[in-house]
Structure 1
Amino acid sequence: MRDTEQAVTTAQTRLPLSRITVLDLTLARAGPTCVRHLADWGANVIRIEPPGAGAEEVTGKRDGFDFQNLHRNKRAIRLDLKSPEGHAAFMRLAATADVIVENMRAAVKHRLKVSYDDVRAVNPRIVYGSISGFGQDGPYGKRAGVDQIAQGMGGLMSITGLPGQGPVRVGIPIADLTAGNLLALGIMTALFDREATGVGRWVTTSLLEAQVFMLDFQAARWLMDGEVAQQAGNDHPTGIPTGVFPTSDGHINIAASSSRLWGRFCDAIGHPEWNANPAWQTQQGRSDDRKAINAAIGEVTRHEPAAHWIELFEEAGIPCGPINTIDKVFADPQVQHLGLAKPVRHPRLGVTPLVGSPINLSGVPKDIRSATHDAGADTDDVLREVGYSDSEINDMRSKGII
C-alpha cells in the first residue's frame, strides 16, 4: 500500500479524540451527557467514582438502562478524593490529562481541592469543564439546581402545554441535556484554541444558561419586540397552520405556515377557496384566525387515516408526519437506516441496544465500543499507567482509598 493510501486508511479508522484523556468527575445527567460525547468519539475517559455505592445511588442500578446509556465507552476507577493519598493520585492523573469535567455544586470542587485553579497549577494545558445549576457565582451561585427547576426558572414551563393549562414540564430533562451538549461544544472549542496557545481554559455553563439559550426565538421575541410568549399547545407560536390534526386512526403533524406552502396545502386538501379568503392570505391573518383554520382542517383530515394524508401532503411538498410513541420511533425505517439504536455486548446483560450518537463523521465508525464498566474495574490499570506500583495500589486498597 502506498504511503498516501496508508495515511487515508489510518485517518478513517482512528477515532478523532483518541489522543485526548478525560477525567470524569460527573454525576447525575448533565455532566455525563457532556462526557458521553467525548467518550463516543474515542477519548480515553476515566470515570472517577468514590469507594462504595457512590454514583449507583444517584443514577440508579448500574445495569439499568439509564446508567448504561450514560456511561458507555469509559473506563471506571474508584478513588477517595477526600483522603490525602486519593487526592495525590487524582493530581497525578490530572498532571497528564487533557480534560476534566465536573458538575458538583460550585463550592465542592474547591473544598476537595480539585478546582480549575488547583489543577492548572500542575497542568496549565488542562481544559476544565464545569456545569452548575445557575452559574459559578452570582446571587444563585451556591444553589443546587436540577433540570425541572431550570425549566421553570428559564421560562420553558410557561410556554409549554395547552393555553390556560398552567405550567408543564417537557417530557425529557432538556436543561440537563442541553447543558451537557453545550459544555461538550465548549470543551472542543477550548481544545482547538489550545492548539494555538498551548494553554487550557475553564469552560463553564449552567442549567439556567442552557435553558434560556434554548428559548431561542421566544427569548428574542421578548428582547426585541417586548412580546411575552404564552402557551400555544400543539400550535406553532407564530407559524399558522402548524400543529396537530386528527385523522380517522390517530393524529398527524402538518406544517404549512408560509404563503407558498399554504397555497399548496389548500389545493392538496381540496379546498382552494381557503387560499382565496382575504383574511387567510397573510401570516398575521391566519394567526388571528387560527382556531377557525384549525377547525376547518380537522373537519377534513378526520375522515381519512394518517397514512393517506402523509402520502398526499408528501407528494405536494408539504411537511407532514406521524406522531409516534417511542416504540414506533425505533420501528421507523428512517430511524433504523440512521442507526440510532446501537448494540453493545455487556458481560451480564448480553447484547443490548443503546442510543447511538446523532453525529456523523465521514469515514469514522460510531459503534459503541464498550458497555459501562463495573465500578472500579480499571483502577489498577489506570494507576499503573501513572506510575503506581502493585504494592502501592494494594496499600491504597487496604486503606479504602480505592
Structure 2
Amino acid sequence: MIDYETLKIIWWLLVGVLLVGFAIMDGHDMGVGTLLPFVGKSDVERRVIINTVGPHWDGNQVWFITGGGAIFAAWPLVYATAFSGFYWAMLAVLWALFFRPVGFDYRSKISDPRWRSTWDWGLFVGGSVPPLIFGVAFGNLFQGVPFHFDDNLVSYYTGSFWGLLNPFALLCGLVSTTMITLHGAVYLAHRTEGVIQQRAIRAATIFGLLLIACFAAAGVWLAYGIEGYVISSAVDAGGQADPLAKTVVREAGAWLANYKLAPLTILLPVLGFAGALGAILLARANRTLLAFVSSALMLVGVIGTAGASLFPFIMPSSSDPRASLTVWDSVSSYTTLGIMLAATLIFMPLIIFYTSWAYKVMAGKITEAYIRENDRGAY
C-alpha cells in the first residue's frame, strides 16, 4: 500500500507531467498559431502552416483538459483559490482559445482575403495569449498571491487583475511565450520545406535566443530580487489537509534552497538552457526532428525548474503566508488520490498510444502542391 505522504508526492509529479505534456503537445500548435501571420506571406503559405497542425490540434487539447481536471480533483483548494483569484485572467485564456476551433474550421471556407486575414489574426491570438497569461500566473506564484482563508477555509482574493501584470510576472510571461513559440517554430520547420521552413528556422533562432536571455534574467531576478517562502514549523506530511496548521516565513534567496538540498535539481535549469540552444543549432543544421526533441527537453527543463524552485509550495500567499497552499495541505483525501492514480495508470498509456499513432499516420511534409491538390479537403 502507498502511504498518504507518498501519494501527495506522486500527484505533484503527475500534475507536473500533465503540464509538461500540455506544453509539448498543445504548445507546438500554439507556437505555430503565433507565427502564422509572420511566417506565411501568402494565402497558400498560411494554409500550409495551418495544415501542419489543423488535423490534430483538438486532440492535443486533451492534455489541457486532463491537467485542469487533475488539479480540480487532486488539489481542490488550489483549484478553487486559483480560479477565483485569477478569474479574469482565466477568462482571457478561454476567450483567446475560442478563436482556435472557429479559425481552423471556418478560415478557408470563404475565399475572401479579408475573411481569411481576420481568422489568421484570430489564430494568432489563440496561440499567443494563453502562454503569455500562464507565464504571468507563474510569475505571480513566485511573488505570492494576495489571498487568505477564514476559519471555514473559504478563500478570499484581495488583489486585482492589473496587479497581476507586474514587471517580474511579465518577464515570466515572456519566458513562457518565447519557449512555446520556439517549440512551434521547430515543429513548423520539421513539417514544411522551402521558404516556409527557412523562415521557421529563423524564427526558432530568434525566439530561442530570446528565451535563453529571458530565462537567465528571470533566474537572476528570482535569486536576488524576490523573497521566497519557507515553512518554519513542523509539518505532518501524511496528515489531513489543513493549510492553516503551519507557520510560513519569507526569506531572501529561499527559492534556491531546494537546489542545495537536492543538488541534482540543478540539472533542470541546465536542461532548459541546453535544450533551447540545441533546438536552435539542430534546426539550423536541418536536423528538425532532433531539434523538436531538444525543444521538448527544453520545456521539461524550464517547467521543471519552476516546480523544483517552488516545492513544496504550490500557491504561496502574500496576504497571509501561513495560508500558502503546499503539496502537503492542499490535496484531496487518500481515497480520492488512490482512485485517481489507478485511473491514471490505465488511461495515460492509452492517451500516449493514440497520440503517437495519430502523429505517425499524419507524418510527412505539408507542401503548397498538397494544398492546391486538396483545395476542398485541406484547412
Question: Where on the TM-score scale, by shorter chain, does this alignment land: which range?
Answer: under 0.3
- Bigger helix share: 2
Which protein has the bigger strand share?
A: 1
TM-score normalised by L of structure 2 = 0.25
Superposition TM-score, scaled by structure 1 size: 0.24
